[in-house]
Amino acid sequence: MMRDREKERDPDDLVEPVAPVIVIGPKNTSVVAGREATLECIANARPVERLVLSWKRNGRRLASGVGVFGRRLTLSSPSLSDGGVYVCEASIINSTTRPTEARAHLSVLEPPYFTAEPKLKTVAAVDKNVDLHCQAKGVPPARLEWYKDAVPVSKLANPRYKVTSATGLTVRRVQPGDAGMFQCFARNAAGDTQTHTQLVVTSVAPSFSLLPSDLTVTDGNSAVFSCETTGSPKPAVSWRRGSQLLASGTVQIPRFTLLESGGLLVEPIRMHDSGDYTCTAASADGSINATATLTVWTRTFISVPPVDQRVIKGTTATLDCNATHDPRVNISFQWQRGAVPLQPSGGRVSILSGSLTISQTWSGDIGDYTCTVTSQAGNQSRSARLEVIELPHSPRSLSVSLNDSDSRSVLLSWVRPFDGNSPLLHYILELSENNSPWKMYMSEVEPAVTRVTVGGLTPARTYQFRLCAVNQVGRGQYSGETQ
Ligand SMILES: *[C@@H]1O[C@H](CO)[C@@H](O)[C@H](O)[C@H]1NC(C)=O
Ligand SMILES: *[C@@H]1O[C@H](CO)[C@@H](O)[C@H](O)[C@H]1NC(C)=O
Ligand SMILES: *[C@@H]1O[C@H](CO)[C@@H](O)[C@H](O)[C@H]1NC(C)=O
Ligand SMILES: *[C@@H]1O[C@H](CO)[C@@H](O)[C@H](O)[C@H]1NC(C)=O
Ligand SMILES: *[C@@H]1O[C@H](CO)[C@@H](O)[C@H](O)[C@H]1NC(C)=O
Ligand SMILES: *[C@@H]1O[C@H](CO)[C@@H](O)[C@H](O)[C@H]1NC(C)=O
Ligand SMILES: *[C@@H]1O[C@H](CO)[C@@H](O)[C@H](O)[C@H]1NC(C)=O
């Protein structure tokens, strides 16, 4: 009975449930963090009494903030982490019908706020670069805009003003006209904010950060005087010797170059460049100067170079070497034979004020000798060749043979001897008849010849021959005598 009555009281129970329909789904919503956000969901179903609306986020059912019949979801003070997809689910209790869903995206916005701000007052010296810091965050990301004295910097189109997201506004080579109020605005969909700085432009009087120092240079080399300055605006540097202007921003005379650093390059140096050099640094705030001295040494050079020598074996060879040099520098001499340095050992080799003396010369002394003068004002080397010559050796293997066709003539031949390091001039051929004293027979036998025919001999006599070679040094030993 009870059952029947209940059924009469609640006729919907008898109705087959109809799947829920979401009539008005939640809408994509943007809200500023901290402000209240509401999502709405209206659904229909049969039986309507068994319709249940619930809210889910990330697959989890939400309990708090759900209003009457689940139609509203209220987030009283959403934070950034509350942003995301919210799902409204309509279902019928104790039914097998599938629930219906609708979803909406909640965007939680954050108004811009500064993470870096300039000081209220920024002081910059003329010609320096200055960074006006301004960085902001926000959701969505903040856009920055700079104003100078209420005019957008983008409209000023000043090539020295550069806005970067990493720092803010950079003003390069600050000029007096850059002074003023710089404002940085940060804006996004959730709002805007601003910060500002007063740019004050100052100047700094010139001063030296690196003074020129005295230099000593060899004639023909180059010299660089340093002169580094600080100051804003950058001081104008000029160089003078006495009253003569050598180099400045506008003046440039040959051999004198004003360097980017403020230094002075003199190239090449001449003897008459000796003197005092003054670097002057000037700006509207003042002028300073500094002076340094240039000393120029004459270049050391070999004035008396060694000359090729040819000496007779056993005699003394002298290779001269002398140098001209600045009286203020010391010089020293070194000698080498080939690549081997010579050490005067107190023996046959001695070096006296540059000149090299070798006594008791022999063929082992032959070679190229180099004199090197070393000094602070330059080094120089000169070479010469030493030849040691001696008498030619005796012609060897002198032999004689009869002429087959002419019995009154013989053929003499010999082997060319060592020439004593000096070309042979000729041979002398001598003859002895029947053991009489030796007589000159031929006095000028060509040095290239190694055989001669001797004719017109008298039969039945004995003849002996001998031969010697002659070079620049003299006549060498005789050969053996023929039989
Ligand atoms: C759903 O069914 C259960 C048992 O089947 C019952 O106890 C409950 O009261 C029902 N709820 C509604 C709203 O009908
Ligand atoms: C709601 O926002 C989501 C994610 O931003 C987007 O995919 C969807 O198209 C939006 N729906 C409407 C009706 O604008
Ligand atoms: C260098 O500076 C001194 C003062 O420090 C000044 O008296 C002098 O006239 C200056 N010389 C030059 C060449 O400017
Ligand atoms: C070398 O030369 C200098 C000057 O050039 C001269 O005074 C000196 O006497 C010379 N020395 C020798 C050994 O010739
Ligand atoms: C040259 O030698 C002398 C004596 O050895 C020394 O007093 C002097 O300082 C030297 N000069 C230079 C320029 O080196
Ligand atoms: C001269 O020779 C010395 C010693 O070999 C060396 O130290 C110096 O650098 C040389 N000077 C020049 C100008 O070549
Ligand atoms: C032999 O003597 C003749 C006449 O004097 C000469 O012409 C010839 O060249 C000689 N022969 C040799 C091998 O010297």
Measured distance CA(148)–CA(476) in Å, rounded:
108
- From the CA of 95, how far away is ligand 1's center (Å)? 10
Structural domains of the chain sorted by starting position, each given as residue range(s) with its CATH number in brackets:
2-110 (2.60.40.10), 117-201 (2.60.40.10), 208-297 (2.60.40.10), 301-389 (2.60.40.10), 396-470 (2.60.40.10)
Lowest mean pLDDT among 189-203, 275-289, 370-384, 449-463: 449-463
Cα–ligand 2 centroid distance for 80 (angstroms): 18
| pLDDT tens digit sequence for 359-372 | 999 999 999 999 99
Quick count: other Cβ atoms within 10 Å of Cβ 222?
Answer: 12
For the segment 108-118, the average pLDDT, to the nearest whole number, is: 95
Stretch 62-70: mean pLDDT, rounded? 85
Residue-wise pLDDT tens digits, 221-242: 999 999 999 988 889 999 999 9
Say how far apart CA 150 and CA 182 lie, in whole Å.
8
Tell me what the mean pLDDT of segment 174-200 comes to. 95
Bridge-based pairing of strands 37-40 and 286-297 is: unpaired
The answer to whether 292 and 227 are in contact (CB under 8 A) is: no
Q: What is the pLDDT of residue 402?
A: 83
* Residues above pLDDT 70, as percent of the chain: 97
Q: For residues 257 and 271, what is the distance between their CA atoms, to the nearest angstrom?
A: 18
Taking Cα atoms as reference points, which of 184, 187, 162 lies closest to residue 172? 162
Q: Which atom of ligand 5 is nearest to the CA of 330?
A: 1
Share of the chain above pLDDT 90, in %: 74
Whole-number mean pLDDT of the chain?
91
Residues 14-65 have pLDDT tens digits of 567 788 999 999 999 999 999 999 999 999 988 888 899 999 999 899 988 8
The model's confidence at residue 70, banded by pLDDT at 50, 70 and 90, is: confident
Q: Say what the pLDDT of residue 336 is.
A: 95
Helix (H) and strand (E) counts in the chain: 2, 44
222 in Cβ contact with 266 (< 8 Å): yes
410-448 residue pLDDT tens: 899 999 999 999 999 999 999 998 888 998 998 899 999
- What is the whole-number distance in angstroms between the Cα of residue 289 and the centre of ligand 3? 6
CB of 303 closer than 6 A to ligand 4? yes
pLDDT given for residue 96 in this prediction: 84
pLDDT at site 15: 64
Give which of 304, 297, 374 is closest to 334, Cα–Cα.
374
Mean local confidence (pLDDT), 253-259: 95
Residue 470: what pLDDT?
Answer: 94
Which residue is closest in CA terms to ligand 2's atom 5?
105
* pLDDT of 171 higher than 70: yes
Structure tokens at 290: 């500094």
pLDDT at 404: 79
Instruction: Specify the pTM.
Output: 0.58
**Which numbered atom of ligand 6 lies nearest the CA of 376?**
11
Question: What pLDDT score was predicted for residue 13?
Answer: 54
Segment 251-258 shows an average pLDDT of 94
User: Of the given ranges (92-96, 110-114, 208-212), which has the lowest mean pLDDT?
Assistant: 92-96
pLDDT at 6 over 50: no
- List beta partners, residue 1: none
**Position 205 pLDDT exceeds 50:** yes
Residue nearest to atom 14 of ligand 4 (CA): 322
Shortest-distance Cα residue to atom 10 of ligand 6? 379
Q: Beta strand 60-61 with 51-57: parallel, antiparallel or unpaired?
A: antiparallel
Residue 9 scores a pLDDT above 70: no
263-299 tens-digit pLDDT: 999 999 999 999 999 999 999 889 999 999 999 999 9
Listed in order, strand segments (DSSP E) in 161-219 are: 161-163, 168-171, 180-188, 191-202, 204-210, 215-218
Amino acid at 415: V
The pLDDT score that the predictor gives to residue 373 is 96
Q: For position 7, what pLDDT does the model report?
A: 44
Ligand 7 within 6 A of CB of 275: no
pLDDT (average), residues 189-207: 94
pLDDT digits (tens, 9 = 90+) for 298-346: 999 999 999 999 999 999 999 999 999 999 999 999 999 999 999 877 7
User: Residues near ligand 3 with C-beta < 6 Å?
Assistant: 278, 280, 289
- In angstroms, the CA 100 to CA 45 distance is 10
- Using pLDDT thresholds of 50, 70 and 90, give the confidence band for residue 8: very low
